[in-house]
Structure 1
Amino acid sequence: MHLCSLCTYKTPNYAHLMDHMRAHTGEKPFSCPHCPYRAAQKTNLKTHIRTHTGEKPAGRSLQVDVNTDCERPGGRGSIAKLHPCSLCTYKTTNYGHLMDHMRTHTGEKPFSCPHCSYRAAKKTNLKTHMRTHTGEKPYTCEHCQYRSVTRSALVRHLFTQHNK
């Protein structure tokens, strides 16, 4: 058994321990040939590269297990079905959110901009991107003339410019 000297991780495979150590060192030896992205794990780089190519992973299915057991989210409120991701610990009461989440594993980006090469995993991200072409800035500062494409940019503006 190989033990990490910096945390409680252990593995029977020495190569896995060496891969794990990159989490502590920050080393990212795998680089994308298309952009500056770098990864500590080769599998993460492969997933990232699909964001450029639009390729879906071979053999990986978007089939999900729908949990029919009822649970109470947060311990109260209405009873709702909890849908778990079969590939990680993510859980949600909204099936559509699970479908969006599954694209983080597959790298699928089905929503395409008709004006440029931008592709998105979520329809809402494409809608926000479209504002770069239309010039629409729906978020307005109540203290000055500032307008922004996203709510998060307005919040950042309020914090940095108006201490709100």
Structure 2
Amino acid sequence: MTRANKSKPGTPPAPTIPAIPKPDVPARLAALPSMPIGELKAEWRRLFGTEPPPYNRRFLESRLSYRIQELAYGGLKRETLERLEALGEQFDGRSITLRRIRHDQRPIAGTRLLREYQGVEHVVTVTRDGYDWQGRPYQSLSAIARAITGTRWNGWVFFGIRRAGA
């Protein structure tokens, strides 16, 4: 969890972020995709009171969409946030490797990945904790690709989940 920042004497107060009227929400959400990136960043400054992160447009739009709704309808309760944090730690076992993998990109547990290499078909099963190849557990597809080829490979590229250079 994050700590609340207490301002020190002599520092300027944090900017006040105005509430958004509920009737304005649909129009503001609809306007985000057509805004130039400069306007998105200015909107970020208005709604968050901080400089925007150096992420792509898609991230800015999705986070701004959430923030607009949060300011209009209210955010999650503190208890809900704590529960979500506990569930997340329970799910990933506090593993920084699993936490770094975006779960919308990672194949669903039970998925079978097939790759033919030098005339041999290799089958990898996605598990909840990683991957299984030839009855052995692996933490990454790259480790499996290296075991198969003997050279370093990006596992996502080797198994055709992502194109090289993408």
Q: Structure 2 length normalisation: TM-score?
A: 0.27
Q: Where is the helix percentage greater, Structure 1 or Structure 2?
A: 2
